[in-house]
Amino acid sequence: MNENRNRNRGLKSVNEVARYLRISERNLRSIISSGDLKVVRIGRRIVIRYQDVQAYLEKNLR
């Protein structure tokens, strides 16, 4: 049920975004730590908005 809510709101887990970008979770966490990709923290959980992934790709794929 929580997964469905996340899909509807465009929120993705670190694992889902790493798979989407075809990079390791470790590399994605490095990108997040550098501040290049915005995240939302819900307690200890990190989720990433779909539009932030798209913005990251537009900025870095030029």
CATH of the domain at 42: 1.10.10
Domain that residue 43 falls in:
2-60
Rounded to whole angstroms, how far apart are CA atoms 28 and 60? 14
pLDDT tens figures, 10-50:
899 999 999 999 999 999 999 999 999 999 999 999 999 99
| pLDDT classification of 4: cutoffs 50, 70, 90 | low
| Domain count for the chain | 1
pLDDT greater than 50 at residue 61: yes
